[in-house]
Amino acid sequence: MLSVVIPTFNRLSILQEVLENLAQATVPATGFEVIVVSDGSTDGTNEWLAHWRPPHPFRFVLQENSGPGRARNRAAGIAKGERILFMGDDTVPSRELLVLHAQRAGREPDPEKIAVLGYTSWHPRMKVSPFLNHINEYGLQFGFSIIPDPGDVPFNFFYTSNVSVGRDLFEKLGGFDTDFPGAAWEDVEFAYRASRSGMRMVYEPSARTAHFHPTSIRSFLGRQERAGESGAIFAAKHPELTDWLGVSSIPSAGGRLSRRARNGLLRIGDWIPFFFSPGLCDGVMRDAYLDGLSRALKGAGNSKGHFPRSSR
């Protein structure tokens, strides 16, 4: 059986669409269940979940706000399925999503050691700018267009917006590391450990979800800084990855065009598609990431509080 795990924090309107679509999904031969963990929601989510009655097995759990990693671990701990499909509370599934995940894993000789990555596009209700397309396809948020080998996907493409993994393997490795405060690097760090334990990830682009997450350049810059802060945690846990995580690049971050100038140029390109520069976009976002990384390595920027991004 497939256990669908969804952490949520104050996104009731889009969560309803996610769950309604799951209720209409084609059912895999082995069946499925859905487990939602409300991570300290205060927007009516808990009351709505208490009255939700879908045609498939459904459970919901309440916890104090402590981040999506802990929420996913809690759901996985009560899951009954042999495989866990991690989704976001803002990634709306296609009708065939569950079947395609189950079938793709079932084609492998050892499904337990296979992770299946599906494709996440932007939701049709969102106006997709060149900036949004770039971060979805070329590695800043996701990187579906640069996956080198669909049959053997690198660990850093493990996106919990739409990925399934064997429950036994997940539990054996202790799930997501809850030292990460928000939705940044905790999924990739798990995949790194899993890959070293023999997990292989495959890409199934027909298993689709639609991401409804209004995103601006300003908000994404903040996201990159938070990712940098979590990158420092990742580097401390796995020193062999410090160069890959950008630690050695921090000294080169000075002497560049001012942040305000680069951000202004990037916004012009986002407003006028002809002027959008992928290279400039990558540079601006890399600078923001390095700023967060540098700040965290100096012992600042690791504040505690609410974690509004409950999906990648």
Supply the pLDDT for residue 168. Answer: 95
Q: What's the confidence (pLDDT) of residue 257?
A: 55
The per-residue pLDDT for 302 is: 42
CB 181 within 8 A of CB 302: yes
pLDDT digits (tens, 9 = 90+) for 39-49: 999 999 999 99
DSSP 211-276: E-----HHHHHHHHHHHHHHHHHHHHH-GGGTTTTTGGGGGGGSSSSPHHHHHHHHHHHHHSGGG-
Q: What is the pLDDT of residue 268?
A: 78
| CA-based radius of gyration for the chain | 19
pLDDT for the residue numbered 255: 46
Backbone phi, psi, residue 25, to 5° = -70, 155
Q: What is the predicted pLDDT for the residue at 309?
A: 39
Q: How far is CA 84 from the centre of its chain?
A: 15
Dist CA 65 CA 285 (whole Å): 28
Q: Which H or E run contains 288?
A: helix 278-297
Report phi then psi at 164, rounded to 5: -120, 150
- Phi and psi at 159, nearest 5°, equal -110, 120
Q: What is the mean pLDDT of each run of 10 residues along the chain (312 residues)?
A: 97 98 97 97 97 97 94 97 97 98 95 96 95 94 97 98 97 95 91 97 98 92 93 96 90 57 73 80 90 86 40 42
Contacts of 272 by beta carbon, 8 Å cutoff, 6+ apart: none
Interatomic CA distance for residues 217 and 266, integer angstroms: 8
Query: Tokens 């921090």 appear where?
Result: 250
Looking at residue 152, its pLDDT comes to 97
- Cβ atoms of 104 and 116 closer than 8 Å: yes
Cα angle 95-100-101, degrees, rounded to a multiple of 5: 115
Q: What integer best gives the mean pLDDT of the chain?
A: 91
Structural domains of the chain, with CATH: 2-211 (3.90.550.10), 217-297 (no CATH)
Global pTM reads 0.91
Residue 228 burial (CB < 10 Å; 0-12/13-18/19+)?
buried
Please state the separation of Cα 283 from the chain's center in Å. Answer: 22
